[in-house]
Structure 1
Amino acid sequence: MDSLGSPITTIRPNIIEFGIGTAGKLGKWAAEKGYHRTLVISDAFNASRIDALAIQGEVAVFGDVTPEPDISNLDRVLSAANATRAELIVGFGGGSAMDLAKLASVLAGSPQSLREVVGPNKVQGPRKVALAQVPTTSGTGSEAGIRALVTDPETMSKLAVESVHMLADIAVIDPALTFTVPPRTTAATGVDAMAHCVEAFTNRKAHPMIDIYAIEGTRLVGKYLARAVRDGADAEARAGLSLASLYGGFCLGPVNTAGGHALAYPLGTRWHVAHGAANALIFPHVLAFNTPSVPAKTKAVMEALGHPASDEAKSVFAAAYEFCAELGIEMKLSGLGVPESGLDQMANDAFAIRRLLDNNPRDLTRDDIRSIYGAAF
């Protein structure tokens, strides 16, 4: 872990526009590129404000993205993309909208099916359409990455696709678009952004090239998240969280997340807990569990969050739990409607997510996972 000479590959959108009031730059870019037919993929709320993007020409909108989208939601998006013959696809919303936009950009009109591209580097490229990403929350960092997730309703598991062909041509991050995000969602998505950074920072694949983004993203959340929860129109705080989310996205491609996200996924797939809320609840438990394996980095995380440096698991748990709870986040599984009878199956589900668990700095057995769920219940 953390070898300066270890090989690493970083890939980012060619153009990243960042700052208050930048949303309309997407329309200018698209016009300069000569795109006349655009499909915007969004949830119902953001579908009502696509004028902010200033896109010219024929603009079709798929405005029915669901939280934790499943295969059927993707199929409807693909139907819309095929029907519009879009030259440009725009993901406009949270991670769900942006992930579906990625998949639509490579699967619409393609002979490949979703099942054929699940896993790393299976998409046949190059893609035939342009892709733009415009986040409206500060959490997933999906605008900067090459992974997309969709739920298989039969197995209740996440299907993960990774491909350089899903990299956006342009990402436009306008913090003003996040002003309307409610306090609870702001809190949960902010902790999700932090979890991306912390899990990459403490990862078995951690690398100094990524650590700089990971620890700064953590510091930004520690400084600005509570402010944004208190006042959603705090422009500086919103910008700080948008940058933290982007930095978290930078972490995902070359390093990715680890045990925290593996344990959080079954909450979403089986019990429809929002991704950010699931990660926030799990975060203190896995951070404390990993502390003996990464004591120095855990100290750095605590300091970045504004808490005294510690490498003692109990105090790490207490501080991380307090950080999340003070934001108004529900920190008990029972409070999120998860039944105690479901914990065993959740432990089985999480233990099977080897692509993330194998990154964790400390081995998580199936019994360890079940114990964490029990403590979180």
Structure 2
Amino acid sequence: MNVSTVHLPKSIFYGQGSFGKVGEETAKLGQKALIISDHVMKSLGNLEKCHDYLKHAGVAFVDYLEVASEPTDQYVHEALSLKEIEQCDVIIALGGGSCIDTAKAVAVLATNSGNISDYMNLKTLAKNKPLPLLAIPTTAGTGSEATDVTVITNTSNDVKMMIKQPAFMPEIAIVDPVLTISSPKNTTSATGIDALTHALEAYISRKAHPFTDHMALSAIKLITENILEAYHNGSNLEARDKMIYGSMQAGIAFSNASVCLVHGMSRPIGALFHVPHGISNAMLLPAILEYTKDSCVERLAEIGRFLYPDLKGFSNENMANRVVDNILDLCRSLTIPNLKTWGVDEKEFESVLEKMARDAMDSGSPANNPKVPTESEIISLYRRAYVYEHSLKKV
């Protein structure tokens, strides 16, 4: 008998104005909050709003604002040290996935021993309940507010560690589309494609099940139908609302069904060349979909029939091709570069291909792909992605 499980935050507050719940909800969980955010949130005034809500609820707080890139073990160490000095008993993450992932690691390590690297690949299990965490996303992308996954770069070996355990699930998610209005175009495209990749990989994953299928299909539809509007007209709150809702659904889907080859190959690119996660996913997505397509034609066709119900009489293969081509068109419309045009040096890239392929395989994600690659196939895919022309649609 196949038994599927679903893990979610205890509470999700969703909708315009839900940010205002942070004070009263934090007060139920602790007396002093460590806010893990960044200087962008401060400059936009979102941090001050958070302070005001907490003050009104009688909650003390201290800020850690040094998350300036994708999360590293150094950020985790610094924030954890501040938490201990200030004796905080609840954590708030305000920002993109980097802030939320950092906060997840701090929440777990605050009550469990060791370094965050100890928890990769279930080498160490978090036995103690983490500090309560409220996750408040300001981008429509990672879905981290609703996942039990954190991705932290180990600075000692340049490996992006994908760590998945129930303890990393936030206690509360506050998902307010108003907070995403300020996302610039490049962030909107990168995080939007990240969310789309989450949903697509969750649907074709070997670990997919009916609950995740429902979430993934809904997310794919919401994101593909609204990302261009959010990209070109960032003040359109309806499009922003649908994007962050789709991002959250995609997060729930992949957290319970796992990601696949795109994410496995994307993390080493981020660790070694500091390409933002969403952009590296988008750089890889079309080439990997083309590689994988023959092993999941039926699943891709199901996505196509859900997205394009008016298209009648298409074979599974033709419908799968339509889905892949339309994703390629979407990446082109969002001006997604390849690795070469991004500025990754070819000689340096070639010199680390074997390490990237090993690190990708070691992450475990490629094993969930419908077509499981060898390390040599991963190297070939990296080379294809390096010069992949998103602007050239196959005839």
Question: TM-score with structure 1 length normalisation?
Answer: 0.92
Q: Which residue of 2 aligns with 1:345?
A: 352
**Residue 339 (structure 1) shift:** 2.0
Structure 2 residue 64 is the aligned partner of structure 1 residue 51: no
> Partner amino acid for 1:146?
D
**Residue 370 (structure 1) shift:** 2.2
Which residue among 345, 354, 367 is the counterpart of 2:376? 367
Q: Which residue of 2 aligns with 1:23?
A: 19
Q: Distance in 2 between matches of 1:216 and 1:67?
A: 30
Structure 2 residue 20 is the aligned partner of structure 1 residue 36: no
Q: Distance in 2 between matches of 1:61 and 1:343?
A: 41
Q: Which residue of 2 aligns with 1:76?
A: 78
Report the identity percentage: 29
Map Cα deviations across residues 198-242 of structure 1 (whole Å, 9 max, x no partner): 001011111112100011100111111001001111111101110
Q: Distance in 2 between matches of 1:372 and 1:231?
A: 34
Q: Which residue of 1 aligns with 2:336?
A: 329
* Gapped regions of structure 2 (runs ≥ 5): 388-395
Q: Which residue of 2 aligns with 1:257?
A: 259
Q: Distance in 1 between matches of 2:137 and 2:123?
A: 24
> Partner amino acid for 1:35?
G
> Partner amino acid for 1:24?
G
Contact 1:351 1:366 in 2 (8 A): yes
Contact 2:357 2:379 in 1 (8 A): no
Q: Which residue of 2 aligns with 1:197?
A: 199
Q: Distance in 1 between matches of 2:123 and 2:245?
A: 28
Map Cα deviations across residues 100-149 of structure 1 (whole Å, 9 max, x no partner): 11111111254333233223383433335221100000111110111111
Contact 1:351 1:357 in 2 (8 A): no
> Partner amino acid for 2:115?
S
Q: Distance in 2 between matches of 1:370 and 1:28?
A: 50
Q: Distance in 1 between matches of 2:305 and 2:377?
A: 27
SS of 1:23 mapped into structure 2: helix
Higher helix share: 2
Q: Distance in 2 between matches of 1:110 and 1:366?
A: 35
CA change 1:371–1:47 in 2 (3 A) is same
**Residue 368 (structure 1) shift:** 2.1
* Gapped regions of structure 1 (runs ≥ 5): none
CA change 1:100–1:316 in 2 (3 A) is same
> Partner amino acid for 1:361?
P
**Residue 84 (structure 1) shift:** 1.5
Map Cα deviations across residues 142-182 of structure 1 (whole Å, 9 max, x no partner): 10111111111232211232222222121000000000000
**Residue 316 (structure 1) shift:** 5.2
Which deviates more, 125-134 or 16-25?
Answer: 125-134
Contact 2:112 2:128 in 1 (8 A): no
Q: Which residue of 2 aligns with 1:358?
A: 367
Q: Distance in 2 between matches of 1:166 and 1:182?
A: 28
CA change 1:306–1:64 in 2 (3 A) is farther
Contact 1:16 1:170 in 2 (8 A): yes
1:128-147 mapped onto 2 (5 Å cutoff): 129-147=131-149
Q: Distance in 2 between matches of 1:368 and 1:37?
A: 50
Which deviates more, 44-53 or 233-242?
Answer: 44-53
> Partner amino acid for 1:333?
L
The number of equivalent residue pairs is 371
**Residue 26 (structure 1) shift:** 1.2
Which deviates more, 57-66 or 103-112?
Answer: 103-112
SS of 1:236 mapped into structure 2: helix
Contact 1:344 1:370 in 2 (8 A): no
Map Cα deviations across residues 275-319 of structure 1 (whole Å, 9 max, x no partner): 011111111111121111111221233455669776368765543
Q: Which residue of 1 aligns with 2:288?
A: 286
Contact 1:222 1:306 in 2 (8 A): no
SS of 1:171 mapped into structure 2: strand
Q: Which residue of 1 aligns with 2:118?
A: 116
Q: Distance in 1 between matches of 2:359 and 2:120?
A: 16
Which residue among 263, 275, 278 is the counterpart of 1:276? 278
CA change 1:234–1:255 in 2 (3 A) is same
Q: Distance in 1 between matches of 2:3 and 2:257?
A: 11
SS of 2:133 mapped into structure 1: strand
